Amino acid sequence: MPKVSAAELFRRGFNFTPARVARAPGRLEVLGNHTDYNEGLVMSVAVDRYIEIAASPRTDGRIELVSSVFPQRERFAVTDIQRNPEAPWADYVKGVLLELRRKGVHFSGFSAAIDSSIPLGAGMSSSAALEVATALVVREMYPYALNEQGAADVPPARDRQGRLSGLGIKERLSLARLCQAAENRFVGVNCGLLDQISSLFGKAHHVLSIDCRFQTVAHAPLVGEAMVVCNTGVKHALVGGEYNALREHCESAARALQAKSLRSVEMSYLKANKDRLSPREYECAYHVVGEIQRVVYAERALREDDHRQFGQYLFQSHESSRDFLRNSCPELDLLVDLARRHGACLGSRLTGGGFGGATISLVAYHEVEAFMEHMASAYEQQTGRKLEPVVCQVVDGAG
């Protein structure tokens, strides 16, 4: 069946044309695995896979959602936003609505159709894109301006074509935090800010460097290589608890070292204080402290245009995730090994939460096709699983 747009999905689902459309991109974590919630450094890109939502306000105080991915409709009252175990995908929308309300944003009912071109469970952060797209489509229908205190008294203006003024940096950050809070509080995944910031701050042809302690974002150009995503086909479900467990090990390690977070811990200090940590805490801290250091070195390599060296940090990152954080799996390890064997690949690693999902490989543009063929045939030969590598374009963020 050919893919339809969110607007078309809306027309089919509700029999009229939607008033507003908003979309938010997925992201790839380029380097910095599980560093974000440790107040560390992380590099990422927003990519040309989106969650798009078409919506229209309603006057009966009800919200009705249809999705291109999940067959059942979800219906509820604005005044009664609850989890529905039959439709966990809608939790991301509901969580954002509750956080908006907590911030004092006024909105009423609406009908919405959600379309996704982000593969689920591939570590490309469809959840954050859904959160961000929800916040933006509500803003389109019920304009609000957000700051750290909450909704501002004056909503944003529309121009003559009815377009809202764009989001400023501070407002983007407030929105990213709001979406993160939705995921932490309502969905129950204690994720950091990486995914939401990437979706809102992405810049075409650039890598984002995010400092999660100071919550600042810088952009560095990355041209010449393609980002190839290889999805193991092994599902990762962050809600499964492994993610939260890793976070707890990291936080208890920081507490045992009397540090505000692992960002403040030097490798030499960590090694000297190994006996204050449980073996698992030490492993997780060892990964995070080393990984933050790798991001610093990688930023320098990128500034100096040394992409081979930059790629080396990607390989090293994977080894550290595999051996110390232990959030890899045999299929991810195989994909990285296969990538490493191809001369056009500068670097490769698991991307995102781990425990399945996808790898990201940095590949010289002119050899991308050959690389993808090599990956697909070798992976299928060794696992019996089909692999469809995709080249992702680096795009601007939402809003």
- CA separation (Å) from 369 to 148, 165, 307, 379, 389? 46, 41, 20, 15, 10
* Least CB distance to ligand GLA at residue 27 (A): 8
**Any idea of the CA torsion for 93, 97, 98, 103, to the nearest 10 degrees?**
140
**Is residue 25 involved in binding ligand GLA (CB under 6 A)?**
no
Per-position DSSP letters for 81-102, written without gaps between them: ----TT-GGGHHHHHHHHHHHH
* Least CB distance to ligand GLA at residue 184 (A): 10
**Is residue 40 involved in binding ligand GLA (CB under 6 A)?**
no
* Least CB distance to ligand GLA at residue 132 (A): 13
Q: 36 or 140, CB closer to ligand GLA?
A: 36
What element of type H or E holds 231? strand 225-231
Q: 74 or 195, CB closer to ligand GLA?
A: 195
Report the Cα 210 to chain-centroid distance in Å.
13
Q: 7 or 288, CB closer to ligand GLA?
A: 288
Closest-by-Cβ residue to ligand GLA is 191
Q: Which stretch binds ligand GLA (CB under 6 A): 29-37, 163-171, 210-218, 337-345?
A: 29-37
**Phi (first) and psi of residue 295, to 5 degrees:** -65, -40
Active-site residue 195, yes or no? yes
Among 121, 347, 352, 356, binds ligand GLA (CB under 6 A): 352
Give dist(CA 278, CA 332) in Å, integer.
27
**Is residue 119 involved in binding ligand GLA (CB under 6 A)?**
no
Can you say whether the dihedral through the CA atoms of 74, 75, 77, 82 is positive or negative?
Answer: negative
* Least CB distance to ligand GLA at residue 230 (A): 17
**Is residue 192 involved in binding ligand GLA (CB under 6 A)?**
yes
Give 260's DSSP letter: S
**Is residue 194 involved in binding ligand GLA (CB under 6 A)?**
yes
User: Pattern of binders to ligand GLA over 195-224, x per CB under 6 A?
Assistant: x-----------------------------
* Least CB distance to ligand GLA at residue 279 (A): 22
**Is residue 140 involved in binding ligand GLA (CB under 6 A)?**
no
Radius of gyration of the chain from its Cα atoms, rounded to whole angstroms: 21
**Is residue 36 involved in binding ligand GLA (CB under 6 A)?**
yes
Q: Which stretch binds ligand GLA (CB under 6 A): 27-35, 114-122, 130-138, 379-387?
A: 27-35
Q: 25 or 352, CB closer to ligand GLA?
A: 352
Give dist(CA 192, CA 186) in Å, integer.
15
Q: Which of 91, 195, 211, 396 is catalytic?
A: 195
- Which has the closest alpha carbon to 208: 228, 193, 190? 193
**Is residue 91 involved in binding ligand GLA (CB under 6 A)?**
no
Among 105, 187, 191, 395, binds ligand GLA (CB under 6 A): 191
Give dist(CA 309, CA 61) in Å, integer.
56
**Is residue 186 involved in binding ligand GLA (CB under 6 A)?**
no
Q: Return the residues of window 242-271 that contact ligand GLA according to CB under 6 A.
A: none
- Which has the closest alpha carbon to 339: 348, 330, 351, 352? 348
- Amino acid letter, 184: N
**Is residue 95 involved in binding ligand GLA (CB under 6 A)?**
no
Among 14, 37, 76, 92, binds ligand GLA (CB under 6 A): 37
Among 13, 40, 109, 353, binds ligand GLA (CB under 6 A): 353
Q: Which residues contact 95 (CB under 8 A, 6 or more apart)?
A: 131, 182, 183, 185, 186, 187
* Least CB distance to ligand GLA at residue 322 (A): 14
**Phi (first) and psi of residue 343, to 5 degrees:** -60, -25
**Phi (first) and psi of residue 55, to 5 degrees:** -150, 160
- Which has the closest alpha carbon to 293: 12, 20, 31, 22? 31
Per-residue tokens: 222: 């990355």
**Is residue 33 involved in binding ligand GLA (CB under 6 A)?**
yes
Q: Which residues are catalytic?
A: 195
Chain residues that interact with ligand GLA, rule: CB under 6 A: 29, 33-34, 36-37, 125, 191-192, 194-195, 352-353
